[in-house]
Amino acid sequence: MASQSIAHLFRLDREAKTSLQAQLRTRIVETIDSGVLPPGLKLPSSRKLGAQLGVARNTVSLAYQELIASGHLASRERSGVYVAERRRLSPATAVAGTRPREESSAVMRRAPQRVIPSGRLRYPPDWRRFPFPFIEGLYDRTLFPIAEWREASRMALAVKEVESWSTDTGEADDELLVDQLRQKILTRRGIAASADEILVTVGEQQALHLAFELLCETGSTVGLEDPGEPDVRALAHKRHADVRFFPVGDAGVEFEDGLEGVDLFYVSPSRQRPTGVTMPQAMRETLLAQAREADTLIIEDDFECELSFLADAPPALKSADGDGRVVYVASLSKVLSPGLRLGFLVGPADFIRAARRLRDLTTRKPSPITQRTAGIFLSLGHYDSMLRRLFDIYERRLIALRDALNHYRPLSIAIPPVTGGTSYWVRGPAELDADALRSAVQNAGVLIEPATPFFAEAQGHSNMFRLGVTSLDEAHIRPGIEALSREMRKLADRKDGNAFDPAGDDAEAKLLSEQDLRRHLTGARLDYQTVYGEPCTIELCEDGRMTGRAGYAQEDRDEGRWWIEGDHWCRRWTAWAYGETGRYRVEKEGSQIFWLDPDGRRIDRASIAPTANTETELAP
Amino acid sequence: MASQSIAHLFRLDREAKTSLQAQLRTRIVETIDSGVLPPGLKLPSSRKLGAQLGVARNTVSLAYQELIASGHLASRERSGVYVAERRRLSPATAVAGTRPREESSAVMRRAPQRVIPSGRLRYPPDWRRFPFPFIEGLYDRTLFPIAEWREASRMALAVKEVESWSTDTGEADDELLVDQLRQKILTRRGIAASADEILVTVGEQQALHLAFELLCETGSTVGLEDPGEPDVRALAHKRHADVRFFPVGDAGVEFEDGLEGVDLFYVSPSRQRPTGVTMPQAMRETLLAQAREADTLIIEDDFECELSFLADAPPALKSADGDGRVVYVASLSKVLSPGLRLGFLVGPADFIRAARRLRDLTTRKPSPITQRTAGIFLSLGHYDSMLRRLFDIYERRLIALRDALNHYRPLSIAIPPVTGGTSYWVRGPAELDADALRSAVQNAGVLIEPATPFFAEAQGHSNMFRLGVTSLDEAHIRPGIEALSREMRKLADRKDGNAFDPAGDDAEAKLLSEQDLRRHLTGARLDYQTVYGEPCTIELCEDGRMTGRAGYAQEDRDEGRWWIEGDHWCRRWTAWAYGETGRYRVEKEGSQIFWLDPDGRRIDRASIAPTANTETELAP
């Protein structure tokens, strides 16, 4: 091969993130490894190759030097640079294996244990291309604390640190990380744990896996939340446990009939997975009392423990665990990045000993480098800063989602109350088919998660879905929900259905004329509910002003103006509904009134409260 | 608190590896977190604190700036720096939990699955304090490629790279890493695998765990090597499999009676764990044929695949796997560092799909950051350089160990042949108790691993142990073995035994006088065996020269001189036995002669070959 032609092998990408020198080294190593450049081949001089590639001579020269140092190239005095003779690393023994590509390999034909059905929800792998990926948990790369992590990473690779984490201490975790978890994370959850009560895991999933492996077996009765994470169900099934499902309400999992006969109870009280609701303190105390009564063990999943911005989070169940029956699992991924895969398990010391041995057998300990890097990251205060930053960002996003849902009201939906987190659980009208909706909205660039896979029984939940904002910029949330509403209405039309059933008594619906509007709405008080279930009252004054009060304590207020244009009722709030003007036709049916969109579809309703004012009634 | 006194809280360690600035930040954050510095407290000026701490004003100033940016501190214009009011991160909810410290927690009292007995071998956690830790697999921190790993790490944290690895693509592994494994590692083992036939795992242990979980179950018959890794046995037991043991000889595991009835066969052909022997190519072909015949699946453990320096390694079994019945597991840790915890699994695509799903359920995928960093490290050619470096280092260490064993001959020992790796498996005289030896030598700074835990049945193997050199510098090996021999002889003395049984015929032993020595040894040829079982011949010429030839092809030769001093026979080789002078009394018993140490103990033997020369015979 004439050295003239070699340059063509090293195509460099000037747009790439890696330096030209690093690219060149990679290309040279590749061509040597693949046998394209044989041992003994003379390479062009750095000046010549530099000219051919259009890069500085020095770039080539440095690449050569590195590769001579690494043994890929060799230099002969006054003669030049050659591909090294590779005495040791034999040029790939002739590749011998024939690979069976048929449908089923001998391994899988004989394998007694078949494929576990996939329990994780699906979304397109190229989800980043979609403008509105409302999929909970997807990672927003812009939130990764690059500079801070780099600093911690650099420090973890200092010579002295390497000496420390590379000492094989068996299954002991990184002392610094364990200490930081205790001080910075667990104390905030009200948990005082000593080092021997903590185990670092490969993400939260391993913590759950170890807990299920150790705490249940064939014939154990395991109580699970319904809806819940499919992979939590899969872990119980993997242990051949008998599963008993407990329904989830607005205050978390419900256990009115007690826990008698339940050996192990899985609960996510801080923010229920997947609905996001929070279990109140009183209910937690009842749960612990009942667990003691029935001698039930508890796995407490506190995966989003750090993200309660809408209300104070009660301390973890584990904090009031008097007799060591609660095993606590959580993760650093929600704040730090799923790129790290670090979680942890907190339990009584004897349990942690057993879990450590099982971790040893199944994976050994999580990467000591990563543990040390995370420990340093926490010790420098970066975790707290990151958390504060996420608090602000996620809070804004979640409120943006709530506002958009409340404004666009895609059909008749309801969302349970949450105290934080990054998602809303949406219940649509009974006839909604969330799977059909998912397909329909995907074409409009919107990704949603139908709820069915979260339920033990698929039937009866096809009208629910989840909307998450972890990967959506605040600015994308409103247009995303607007697109979602539009698609939902189209879907409802295609079904020839109407979102709202005829309401209440058999009274006939009447489309209001200009005069009707004036008669029914002037001076009226309208009672309705926000999309997240809070009461809202709107008073329409005769002078055209209006006052809105929302929330149980009427803590959320706004002022605005209303008026009538022909047969349309119009309004504009100062802040609510983005301060935009709304213009609607209105129908009345008994004491209910309905707002219609331009196509005549009912998009919202309210009831007209009996007031001092004769028979007035009214709108949003 | 007067700001005067604050400096005392920030004790900085000038000897520490972390910078003073980073230390100061950590200390400030700690004191804020712990509540020692309350919100609103004014901190001393950077000039003042710098003076109090004896550090540059700039160090303090930079630390303050960082902490203001992270929200721990706040600055008020023209007033100074204060501990920030921490609106969001509530100052640790009063720690509520009471921790049960009694012997057994409720969790463990109720937990159906008990602690799995520890299968890993034990050594003192402070093994670094011992000058001679002959424990296989302990990591030599000086071998971690710090600069190269830092480079890869820095590149993996470039903004564009973060975008790439942080995209949640479910359970897909890092493309770059998978590609590099295929090109750089698998082709060298003769394996052509496509990306969907490879799964990255949390170290090799997870690869083994996934394979055992998927390929055997209650009632399966699993064939294991004996001796073998205790944790491989534990994985089979965890699956409630019926285990059948196959003995290991000098050519690897023996299966003369075939594999009939064996569902799954675990084998480590490249370098048997723990003996280190290599299965020859012909035997591998027989094994595959028998597996096909009996429809047995195979797990091939190739953990040290890259370290065959004493002879060419045959390609992996997997390379000749015609019908997809071999699942291959290996690790990057032996070359890169156990700090990373990366291994991989190669198998038919349908099996890898199932394994990926099981990995998903039990841990999710290994850290995407670490995967990308390792991929970059490989693509830059650093892995190959590292491997070449380890080749040289480990080869020198292993040869140093062999030479030392051959020279000091601690009692009568034998070691099976190995083609590389980092350990020797030592078989001592039948009466040796390796457990007692371990305790005895530990006081002399030597750590060894008795063989018993590697065997299915404890009995009958107490005379074996393993010596590894992964964590011993070459220079420490000889003195380590010298110390070991000394302790072994002491132990034998205490037992009042003698290492060598009276040899052969009933002839009586006779201590040779100066005249006897001259008569029996002048012109004699001595035949004996090196400690690793190779034949060795020494010719003692009349003119005082001597010639040694060792190895099956007599490939190892040396020259030296011998002479007689009073009743002692003396010798000195040019290179063998470190080129040192040896001085021994000699006993003769029939055709055998024995060398004695100063205390009169027999330390080696040879037989005098019949030569043209009358009845001459002779020594090392």
Residue A112 is predicted with a pLDDT of: 55
Distance from CA of A432 to the nearest CA of B (A): 28
**3-state secondary structure (DSSP) of residue B141:** helix
State whether A363 and B368 contact (CB < 8 Å): no
Residue B46 is predicted with a pLDDT of: 83
C-alpha R_g of chain B? 31
Distance from CA of A248 to the nearest CA of B (A): 24
Q: Which two tokens stand for residue B425?
A: 């498996």
The alpha carbon of B599 is separated from its chain's Cα centroid by a whole number of angstroms, namely 36
Report the residue of B319, B363, B390, B393 to disrupt the A interface, i.e. the one with the largest count of A CBs within 10 Å. Answer: B363
Residue B58 is predicted with a pLDDT of: 81
Contacts of B179 in chain A (CB under 8 A): none
- Split at pLDDT 50, 70, 90, the class of B103 is low
ipTM of the complex, rounded to two decimals: 0.78
Phi then psi for residue B214, to 5 deg, are: -85, -25
Our CA dihedral for B150, B153, B154, B158, rounded to 10 degrees, sits at 170
Residue B427 touches partner A, C-beta closer than 8 Å: no
Residue A221 is predicted with a pLDDT of: 96
pLDDT of B614 above 80: no
Q: What's the mean per-residue pLDDT of chain B?
A: 84
Rounded to an integer, the average pLDDT of B521-525 is: 91
State whether B350 and A103 contact (CB < 8 Å): yes
Q: Which two tokens stand for residue B596?
A: 């004695």
**3-state secondary structure (DSSP) of residue B569:** strand
Query: Quick one: closest CA in B to A395, which residue?
Result: B88
The alpha carbon of B542 is separated from its chain's Cα centroid by a whole number of angstroms, namely 47
Least confident of A104-108, A315-319, B84-88, B440-444: B84-88
Which residues is A184 bridged to in the sheet?
none
Contacts of A106 in chain B (CB under 8 A): 295, 297, 323-325, 348
Residue A31 is predicted with a pLDDT of: 79
Rounded to an integer, the average pLDDT of B191-205 is: 94
Question: Which carries the bigger pLDDT value, residue B103 or residue A582?
Answer: A582
- Split at pLDDT 50, 70, 90, the class of B618 is very low
Residue A87 is predicted with a pLDDT of: 45
Burial class, A614, CB count within 10 angstroms (exposed 0-12 / middle 13-18 / buried 19+): exposed
State whether B89 and A366 contact (CB < 8 Å): no
Task: State pLDDT tens for residues B443-481.
Answer: 899 999 999 999 999 888 999 999 999 999 999 999 999
Selecting from A361, A365, A391 the residue whose C-beta is nearest the C-beta of B231 gives A361
Rounded to an integer, the average pLDDT of B296-317 is: 84
Residues 24-43 of A with CB under 8 A from B: 25-26, 29-30, 33-34
Report the residue of A367, A372, A380, A395 to disrupt the B interface, i.e. the one with the largest count of B CBs within 10 Å. Answer: A367
| Secondary structure of A77-137 as H, E, C letters | CCCEEEECCCCCCCCCCCCCCCCCCCCCCHHHHHCCCCCCCCCCCCCCCCHHHCCEECCCC
Task: State pLDDT tens for residues B121-140.
Answer: 578 878 888 999 999 988 88
Selecting from B97, B119, B350 the residue whose C-beta is nearest the C-beta of A318 gives B97
- Split at pLDDT 50, 70, 90, the class of B37 is confident
pLDDT of A246 above 80: yes
Alpha-carbon distance of A144 to A138, in angstroms, equals 13
Distance from CA of A234 to the nearest CA of B (A): 8
Task: State pLDDT tens for residues B566-599.
Answer: 999 999 999 888 888 889 999 998 888 888 888 7
Alpha-carbon distance of A267 to A270, in angstroms, equals 9
Residue B87 is predicted with a pLDDT of: 45
Selecting from A107, A194, A202 the residue whose C-beta is nearest the C-beta of B363 gives A202
- Split at pLDDT 50, 70, 90, the class of A111 is low
Instruction: Based on DSSP, count helices (H) and strands (E) in chain B, helices before strands.
Output: 17, 24
Question: Which carries the bigger pLDDT value, residue B533 or residue A588?
Answer: A588
pLDDT of B552 above 90: no
Distance from CA of B580 to the nearest CA of A (A): 32
8 A C-beta contact, residue B363 and residue A203: yes
Alpha-carbon distance of B607 to B525, in angstroms, equals 9
Enter the pTM of the model. 0.78
Max mean pLDDT among A43-57, A452-466, B120-134 falls in: A452-466
- The bridge status of strand B525-529 relative to strand A264-267 is unpaired
CA end-to-end span of chain B: 79
pLDDT of A425 above 70: yes
Contacts of A54 (CB under 8 A, 6+ apart): none
Least confident of A111-120, A292-301, A602-611: A111-120
Max mean pLDDT among A31-45, A282-296, A575-589, B128-142 falls in: A282-296
Residues 551-590 of A with CB under 8 A from B: none
- Split at pLDDT 50, 70, 90, the class of B503 is very low
Query: Quick one: closest CA in B to A189, which residue?
Result: B93
Residue A312 touches partner B, C-beta closer than 8 Å: yes
Alpha-carbon distance of A453 to A122, in angstroms, equals 10
Which residues is A334 bridged to in the sheet?
none
Selecting from A149, A338, A358 the residue whose C-beta is nearest the C-beta of B116 gives A358
Q: What's the mean per-residue pLDDT of chain A?
A: 84
Question: Which carries the bigger pLDDT value, residue A89 or residue B327?
Answer: B327
Contacts of A297 in chain B (CB under 8 A): 106-107, 110-111
Contacts of B382 in chain A (CB under 8 A): 70
Distance from CA of B152 to the nearest CA of A (A): 10
Burial class, A505, CB count within 10 angstroms (exposed 0-12 / middle 13-18 / buried 19+): exposed
Task: State pLDDT tens for residues A138-167.
Answer: 888 888 899 999 999 999 998 888 888 877
Count CB-CB contacts under 10 A for residue B334: 22
Alpha-carbon distance of A121 to A450, in angstroms, equals 9
Report the residue of A27, A168, A332, A387 to disrupt the B interface, i.e. the one with the largest count of B CBs within 10 Å. Answer: A168
Alpha-carbon distance of A179 to A198, in angstroms, equals 10
Contacts of B362 in chain A (CB under 8 A): 205-206, 209, 362
pLDDT of A89 above 80: no
Residue A318 touches partner B, C-beta closer than 8 Å: yes
Residue B419 is predicted with a pLDDT of: 81
Contacts of A146 in chain B (CB under 8 A): 157, 159, 162
Contacts of B238 in chain A (CB under 8 A): 361
Rounded to an integer, the average pLDDT of B270-281 is: 92
The amino acid at B103: E
- The bridge status of strand B132-133 relative to strand B80-83 is unpaired
Residue B95 is predicted with a pLDDT of: 36
Task: State pLDDT tens for residues B136-167.
Answer: 988 888 888 999 999 999 999 988 888 888 77
Selecting from B92, B97, B321 the residue whose C-beta is nearest the C-beta of A320 gives B97
Question: Which carries the bigger pLDDT value, residue A69 or residue A93?
Answer: A69
- Split at pLDDT 50, 70, 90, the class of B112 is low
pLDDT of B88 above 70: no
Contacts of A263 in chain B (CB under 8 A): 110, 112
Distance from CA of A25 to the nearest CA of B (A): 6
Q: Which two tokens stand for residue B199?
A: 């799964």
Alpha-carbon distance of A565 to B284, in angstroms, equals 90
Selecting from A144, A354, A364 the residue whose C-beta is nearest the C-beta of B341 gives A364
Report the residue of A108, A171, A353, A447 to disrupt the B interface, i.e. the one with the largest count of B CBs within 10 Å. Answer: A108
Residue A103 is predicted with a pLDDT of: 56
